[in-house]
A = this chain, B = another copy of it.
Amino acid sequence: MRRVLKAAILGATGLVGIEYARILSQHPYIKPAYLAGKGSVGKPYGEITRWQTVGQIPKEIADMEVKPTDPKLMDDVDLIFSPLPAGAAGPVEEEFAKQGFPVISNSPDHRFDPDVPMMVPEINSHTVTLIDEQRKRRDWKGFIVTTPLCTAQGAAIPLAPIFMNFKMEGAFVTTIQSLSGAGYPGIPSLDIVDNILPLGDAYDAKTVKEVYRLLSETKRNVQEPHIKEVSLSATTHRIATIQGHYEVAYVTFKEETSAEKVKEAMEEFKGEPQDLKLPSAPDKPILLTNKDNRPQVYFDRWAGNPPGMSIVVGRISQVNKKTIRYVSLIHNTVRGAAGGGVLTAELLTEKGYLPK
């Protein structure tokens, strides 16, 4: 029988923390064993958690006590999921890694450390070997692996099969993102009732930066152009949706490229998680829809199996011979955060970085 891994969830009462709790409460071999919080230490998790996700909070988790974020108290914990906010996450995660814990982080703080993987398992599972370098360089028993920004994942996953298979020239992405991406309390209500909130230059830029890296780490069938020659741009916004980042992409190519071929490439797209049949790997990372009014945030964000792990892509169409358009929808707190983190943990198990 498979070894059960005991996981600690840092920031367990936050919006990504609850998705970790929900997913792990049903996981075949990773259990939510330690729920770490901040203002709520000592209280039953169910009492103080805003369970802003699908279903009711599972009884066994509701009764767990929230505990301090302290490695010393986590003797029997096997791995750490850290959806801590930017800034706060960095030093905490380093401390845990130093103390020997494997840390899977959804935070930006270590994403661009040169020896830290920024993982979307279907795209760049081979970067897992950065961990070896990381341990050597830092003399850590533990390690840090990160997952990218939800918005960047929403853009990069559909772009990956395009970049891998075609001579892509540019991609111009407009995002209409949900509130949960900013955490709680996050976006003030007065900014989003009867309004659209542009996220500004910094948010646009970090999205683009992460997509560049993810695409540069794909394994490609085509040889040129290199990612450096590709022009990427994102214009990012939030509106009053709770979960689900919706993105419209216009992609240009160096040569004639047919929407049909792009559709096929998306349909066939899969990666190591599918090959390894990881429990959280959806059959298809990208689900296609043919309806011209889909995907819709309310109806499609929980698509796939496990729910919320597939990105839904639709409206793939030929703009001109060298340009196609599509729209995509990612569940930002599942595929774009906690679900992606759990999938990464499963990959680490198969790759020998976590006990099996």
Contacts of A143 in B (CB 8 A): none
Contacts of A15 in B (CB 8 A): 190
- Within 156-175 of A, Cβ neighbours of B (below 8 Å) are at 170, 172, 174
Contact status B195-A296, CB under 8 Å = yes
Known: A320-B231, A325-B233. A176 touches B190 (CB 8 A): no
Instruction: Tell me the bound Cα distance from A248 to B248 in angstroms.
Output: 10
Instruction: Tell me the bound Cα distance from A195 to B189 in angstroms.
Output: 12
Q: How many copies does the complex hold?
A: 4
How many chain A residues touch B (Cβ–Cβ < 8 Å)?
59
Contact status A170-B55, CB under 8 Å = no
Contact status A193-B296, CB under 8 Å = no
Q: Give the segment of A79-87, A273-281, A297-305, A348-356 that binds chain B.
A: A297-305
Contacts of A296 in B (CB 8 A): 195-198
Contacts of A239 in B (CB 8 A): 176, 196, 239-240
Contacts of A227 in B (CB 8 A): none
Known: A185-B185, A233-B319. A196 touches B297 (CB 8 A): yes
Known: A52-B298, A327-B235. A293 touches B197 (CB 8 A): yes
Contacts A/B (CB < 8 Å), 28 sampled: A50-B299, A52-B190, A54-B55, A56-B307, A170-B323, A172-B250, A172-B325, A186-B189, A187-B188, A187-B189, A188-B189, A189-B189, A193-B194, A193-B240, A193-B298, A194-B240, A195-B241, A195-B297, A195-B299, A196-B239, A196-B296, A196-B297, A198-B315, A198-B327, A231-B323, A235-B325, A239-B239, A239-B240
Q: Given known contacts A56-B307, A186-B188, A235-B327, what 8 new A-B pairs fall within 8 Å (CB)? A: A52-B190, A56-B303, A174-B174, A189-B240, A190-B242, A194-B298, A195-B296, A196-B239
